[in-house]
Amino acid sequence: MENTLIHIDIKKTLLSSKGVMTLEVNKDIPAESFTALFGPSGAGKTTLVRIIAGLIKPDSGVIRFGDEVWFDSNRKINFSTQNRHIGLMFQDYALFPNMTVEQNIQFALDDKDSSYTKSLLDILQLSEFAKYKPQHLSGGQKQRVALARAIARKPRLLLLDEPLSALDSGMRIILQDEISKVHRMFESTTIMVSHDLNEVFRLADNVVCLEGGKITKEGKPQNVFTDTGISGNLQITGQIASIEIQDLINIVTVITGNNNIVKIIAFKDDISQLSSGDRVLILTNTFNPIIKKI
């Protein structure tokens, strides 16, 4: 496949809450793409990320990164995590409590370049906290440090395992923007585990849905999660996932609290004060939607 950075074709037997399950994935990930892994708890999302990272060994298969084979069960090849040159960010931060913010970032670097560390601190708005230790930081600040450390070695592959799940909705939106900025700036290929549809819509180019260890759907989020119908006669609250700008009308995709997708037709004036991530109330009278920020 042209432009493929990662080829994954693996099997791994797992013990899930429903009994024995086989994780079986055959997937190519394009270079510089942002791919979300989405699905219910126990579907195999985190295990797949850890297999790609080299933290869990598959029972069989192949993982190829560009021209480099990271894992091949037949040829007895299994690169260590350190030799895969990837960036990892998990939901538990895993910061060193005895190190400052600056030292946590520099730990990931072979060359303790202070000017480069300073640039990372600036990019992620951490400069004023450089000498702080993790216990003195908020949850959002800790996540920024974890992200800075994950990208410190400029990895071609960034792996994120539900990195924002412990944050409130406002901070999640802010950190989503930071992750998107870093992804574009470093031109990395990013794979993210998420259970948040709004997060998937805001960040991902592609989504892979896993259930019972198998890929059930894949493609662009708007194609995977929505149908062609436009909803009418609604009175709901939700969060804007995307606004598709068109010539005369716009399509606003809203995710409700139950992770349902609603698509609404709106005119330019209706959305002039709205953007992705806003909480909104939608009232419709036949096909005349009113969208209000709340």
All structural domains of the chain: 4-224 (3.40.50.300), 229-293 (2.40.50.100)
- What gap in Å lies between CA 151 and CA 196, rounded to an integer? 23
Give the tens place of pLDDT for each residue, 37-89. 998 888 999 999 999 999 999 999 999 999 999 999 999 999 999 899 899 98
pTM of the entire structure? Answer: 0.77
User: Per-residue pLDDT tens for 178-220?
Assistant: 889 889 988 889 999 998 888 888 899 999 999 999 999 999 9
Residue 286 confidence (pLDDT): 47
* Residues paired with residue 19 on neighbouring β-strands, in sequence order: 16
Asked if pLDDT for residue 222 goes beyond 90, the answer is no
Please, are residues 236 and 46 in contact by the beta-carbon 8 Å criterion?
Answer: no
Dump pLDDT digits (tens) for 230-286. 444 556 778 888 888 876 678 888 888 777 788 887 777 778 888 888 888 776 654
Contact indicator for 224, 210 with CB cutoff of 8 Å: no
Confidence of residue 99 (pLDDT cuts 50, 70, 90): very high
Give the per-residue pLDDT at 185: 87
